[in-house]
Structure 1
Amino acid sequence: MKRRLSVVMRRNVAIRKRLARVPRRCRAPIRGIRAPMTLRYAFWSFVSSSAGLLAIAEVTRLLGHPLLIGSLGASAVLLFGATESPLAQPRNLVGGHLLSALVAVGVVALLGSTPLTMALAVGISIFLMNLTHTTHPPGGATALIGVQGAAGFGFVILPVLTGVLILLAVACLTNNVVYHRSYPRHWL
């Protein structure tokens, strides 16, 4: 009993020490170093991201099935505004969204759609994206959207896979048609 109490007390001390370090570890310069942004790059981000989302809207009209979900807008930010980011590369884009959509479908099938399962789906998605090297931040939104909408397996194909492939095709076209961009940096 005495030994157990000692272990608990040591853990409490360790936790207090970690918590005391938090403010110090949050210190950072007020301003960070930023790469210069050109008007040309910003303008082309606007044009190409608009083209990507309009392409999804047009396929939505042709198929009669809604394909535009919020997480695809977030992917557009990476694909057209941060093309060199590792998180914007095709493996991350496709893998992150698909993995997260599958997690959402599995969580809904096993546990239903509640605030707890929404949080679990996002956490599980991040965990699996990290393990598979497919981290794509909008994937977390895909998991949340899927559980919130109580998605079935069709969610993986329409809207997720279809929307992601349309964005990828537009990114490959628009980011390579101008001389100041190149996409992707790598496929896998």
Structure 2
Amino acid sequence: MSIDQQPAPAVSRPAPTRPAPTRPRPAARLRALTVSRAPARPTPAAAAHTLASATSVLLLLVAIGAAIHEPLLIPPLAASAALIHSVPTLPLAQPRSVIGGHVLCAAVGLAVHAAFGSSLWTAAAAAGLALGTTMLARTPHSPACATAVIAVLQGPAPARFLGTLFAAAVLLVGAGVLAARLRRPVAYPAYWW
């Protein structure tokens, strides 16, 4: 073989090096943990508006309930009012989720009560089934899971319970729409259905 035909010797190249990962110093890690990721504090006017609008609709539910001798103010509705008036842009606060979630969860609770009776075990199972049902129906509303629990533990008359619950949920949504119109920068609802 001539010199021209011999293969060139392999040149060894060093493997590319990556810089060693740097770990933040303990003080930097501590600062990262103490930095608040919570939402900004609302203005006093926004907080007062939320307080007034949520309290007004809840007092209206109590007044209507007293007039018809049916308790309309149940804890899940108070939690729904809190969502609608404090975080109106969340999917959980939209009319589809508020109204549909309460009605679906009540129906699940009533069905579980009819099939298995009233106990803490069946109430817990109803809450889980209600959550799954609302997720599948694209109407997630966490306060409504408590509506299923109430339906199991109290065993109300189905038609009356569903009717008054539906009316109360519609009233909550209507109050949310009105409150948003009075406080212009906030748009509620983000979507209806």
Q: Which TM bucket (shorter chain)?
A: 0.7 to 0.9
Q: CA deviation at 1:180?
A: 2.7
For the aligned residue pairs, the C-alpha RMSD in angstroms reads 1.6
Question: Secondary structure of the residue that 1:180 maps to in structure 2?
Answer: coil
1:157 aligns with 2:163: yes
For the residues of structure 2 that align with 1:135 and 1:57, how far apart are their CA atoms? 25
Q: Among 75, 79, 83, which residue is 1:78 paired with?
A: 83
For the residues of structure 1 that align with 2:186 and 2:47, how far apart are their CA atoms? 12
Q: Which has the higher helix share?
A: 1
Q: CA deviation at 1:104?
A: 0.7
Conserved? CA contact 1:71–1:142, under 8 Å: yes
Q: Where does 1:168-187 land on structure 2 (aligned, <5 Å)? A: 168-187=173-192
Q: Identify the residue that residue 33 of structure 1 maps to in structure 2.
A: 37
Q: Identify the residue that residue 54 of structure 2 maps to in structure 1.
A: 49
Q: CA deviation at 1:181?
A: 1.8
What is the TM-score when the length of structure 1 is the normalising length?
A: 0.80
Q: CA deviation at 1:32?
A: 4.5
For the residues of structure 2 that align with 1:31 and 1:89, how far apart are their CA atoms? 31
For the residues of structure 2 that align with 1:138 and 1:120, how far apart are their CA atoms? 16
What is the TM-score when the length of structure 2 is the normalising length?
A: 0.78
Q: Where does 1:6-25 land on structure 2 (aligned, <5 Å)? A: none
Q: CA deviation at 1:125?
A: 0.4
Aligned residue pairs, count: 160
Q: Which amino acid aligns with 1:33?
A: R
Q: Where does 1:86-101 land on structure 2 (aligned, <5 Å)? A: 86-101=91-106
Q: Which amino acid aligns with 2:103?
A: L
Greater displacement, 28-37 / 46-55: 28-37
Question: Secondary structure of the residue that 1:175 maps to in structure 2?
Answer: helix
Q: CA deviation at 1:34?
A: 2.5
Question: Secondary structure of the residue that 1:34 maps to in structure 2?
Answer: coil
Q: Which amino acid aligns with 1:155?
A: F
Q: Which runs of 4+ in 1 moved over 3 A?
A: 28-32
Consecutive unaligned residues of structure 1, counting only runs of 5 or more, are 1-27
Q: In terms of Rg, which structure is larger?
A: 2
Q: Identify the residue that residue 144 of structure 1 maps to in structure 2.
A: 149
User: Which digits, 9 at most, give the CA deviation of each residue in 1:147-169, with x for residues without a partner?
Assistant: 111233122112x1121111111
Conserved? CA contact 1:49–1:77, under 8 Å: yes
Inter-CA distance 171–31: structure 2 relative to 1 (3 Å threshold): same
For the residues of structure 1 that align with 2:171 and 2:83, how far apart are their CA atoms? 15
Q: What percent of counterpart residues are identical?
A: 31
Conserved? CA contact 1:55–1:166, under 8 Å: no
Q: Identify the residue that residue 114 of structure 1 maps to in structure 2.
A: 119
